[in-house]
Amino acid sequence: MRLIGDKFPELEVETTHGKIKLPEHFAGKWFILFSHPADFTPVCTTEFYSFQKHYPEFRELGAELIGLSVDQVFSHIKWVEWIEEKLGQKIEFPIIADHTLEVSKELGLIHPNKDTTTVRAVFFVDPNATIRAIIYYPQEIGRNIPEIVRVLKALKTFDEKKLAVPANWPENELIGGRLIVPPAKSVEEAKARLETAQKGEYECYDWWFCHKEA
């Protein structure tokens, strides 16, 4: 099972867009791999509809999407045809047909006590092929796609600013859209932190909780 900070494994996968080598196919880009339990199921259908609706946002952030389940590729193809015909949404990103379970076993996607069904997992992989965040959901609960967009924005913001991201950012109840300055690592740095705050560069509740404009 892969963890945050691990490199994404090198895999060749069968998809609705043909065979793809991961992570090579997305070299230099962020990509989000998300698994779903099965095609032609109501919750998964609502998720794919929403992922596609938000696909332009992901692409604007320099990220691609790729889905996965243990269904055969012909099932994926028929399902996305159904979504386009019945719901008016064309699924533009590829979907992995992991009928051999190779990817699911490599990434720890098999749902405990439910045979070969995959959990609802989300892997955020950066341009260096490093896994930066992982989210798991049970079968019974559909994902919040705007939250997945938010996590991607937060990761990219941290990489750019080197400042931590608060809860519910950018609408945090304490500091709004501001970012958190990393805690001081010495007594001297703690004193300097408050002096810096007095000059207006930071705002602080205390030396260990300072924040600034993004």
CA atoms within 13 A on the CB side of 183: 6
Residues with catalytic function: 44
- Nearest residue to 83 (alpha-carbon basis) of 40, 36, 34, 138: 40
Over the range 51-79, which residues count as b (16 or more CB within 10 Å of their CB) and which as e? bbeebeebeeeebbbbbbbbbebebbeeb
| Tokens encoding 171 | 């609408």
Residues 14, 20, 26: CA angle, nearest 5 degrees: 140
Q: Which contacts of 159-166 are long-range, i.e. CB under 8 A and separated by 24 or more positions?
A: 159/126, 161/214, 163/212, 163/214, 166/211
Omega prior to 146 cis, within 30 of 0: no
